Amino acid sequence: MNPTNDPKKRSFIEVPADHDFPIQNLPYGIFRTNDNAPHAGVAIGDFVLDLVVIEEAGLFEGVGKGFLFRNKETLNHFLAQGKAVWTAVRSRVSELLDAENPTLRDNEELRQLALVPRAGVEMLLPVHIGDYTDFYSSREHATNVGTMFRGADNALMPNWTWLPVGYHGRSSSIVPSGTPVRRPKGQTKADDADSPTFGPCRLLDFELEMGFFVGTGNKLGTPIDMEDAADHIFGMVLVNDWSARDIQKWEYVPLGPFLAKNFATSISPWIVTMEALEPFRQAGPKQDPPPLDYLAGGGDRSFDINLEVAIQPDTSETPYVVCRSNFKYMYWSITQQLAHHTVSGCNTRPGDMLASGTISGPTPDSYGSMLELSWRGTKPLQLGNGEERKFIKDGDTVIMTGHAQGDGFRVGFGEVSGKILPAD
């Protein structure tokens, strides 16, 4: 076992057993206070460990070359250093926060500088995202959507069980949790209409997803092999890939979604590393037919991560849970997605984000979108305050959370939330 994953390990900072950020987690993010320059940090309980302060104190000496975090407004430089440096920094941070280590614990002056209350920080995007690719890798989701639009006999397209279907998304409109989202406008066309009309989206939806960040990328023309793919992945976040269903229905043939997906994608601000998730690795669903050789191998490829979605109307102080799912349901793994993405020779770069696509489970309460939960609006959801929803209304806040449950601790992702504002 990696010592940083030891369930018995404890920090000198008290962290309850049901908290998302114990010493076994140590996720990375970019924060700032009082409009100061952005700093890299690690979440520990209700605090942020300022990695710039730790670095300037000489506590990362011998780890990597030069400064890893000083004068860096994103984590891209750190991600580019590779797995050996990621492991060394995580190990050092774990040591510094350990209850038995006096280095930070007993240095009051350094501790006051380095540990910042999370309640007083603004979280920014953790990396500069140069490119973003969204996949369609949940068999349950693809089957549900295919059944709605093509019937049960033709639910999955012929290529679906042979390759991870994906499309290139829009990185400029990826926003951190808490950023309001404006209802998009576009063309829609009713089935019985002769021509389309222009106006606000009427069928606005969330999509429960998870994303991962490329650490070390690959050169143009040099694919990433399945056996090496895991070493190129730094960590994961929660993703709400908002979707305008009525706009998409009209525009997606023949090249796929465009305006329906480019107006906003929300992500959680803390990147949970693959090392923190290692204890929760497990085999994914059986793949039939067996994947082609370049998508085979790599050992256990999935992770047991509990996911939840809630809707909070602006008329209520209470969020109402509408979905409980799990990342383990994903048919195509993140390593298969990365290997497939690069097999053509496509290059990836530190900070590129790849998202899973909507994560749906086998039961109706585990479906990862309103399209499925309300079955195209034919089965409205009851929120518990007397209101019902077929799709997302103006003023609704969608809140997604996720965690992997350990023995006496959890490795959590925090949340990704966004409130829908009326169309401009």
Catalytic residue numbers read 141
Q: 64 is written with which tokens?
A: 């990597």
Give residues with Cβ within 8 angstroms of 21, minimum separation 6: 15, 27, 43, 44, 45, 270, 412, 414
How far is the C-alpha of 73 from the C-alpha of 131, rounded, in Å?
18
Single out the residue of 319, 125, 336, 349 nearest to residue 237, CA to CA: 125
Single out the residue of 295, 360, 412 nearest to residue 147, CA to CA: 360
Contact, 278 vs 367, CB < 8 A? no
- E-strand ranges in 69-191 read 115-117, 122-124, 132-135, 166-168, 174-176, 181-182, 185-188
Q: 268 is written with which tokens?
A: 């959680």
Contact, 86 vs 75, CB < 8 A? no
Q: Which residue blocks in 343-408 are alpha helix, DSSP H? A: 370-373
Q: Helix/strand/coil (H, E, C) string of 128-141? A: CCCCEEEECCCHHH
Single out the residue of 315, 355, 106 nearest to residue 213, CA to CA: 355
How far is the C-alpha of 151 from the C-alpha of 145, rounded, in Å?
9
Place of tokens 């969204």: 134
Cα-based distances in Å from 24 to 10, 233, 247, 274, 314: 8, 19, 43, 12, 36
Amino acid at 366: S
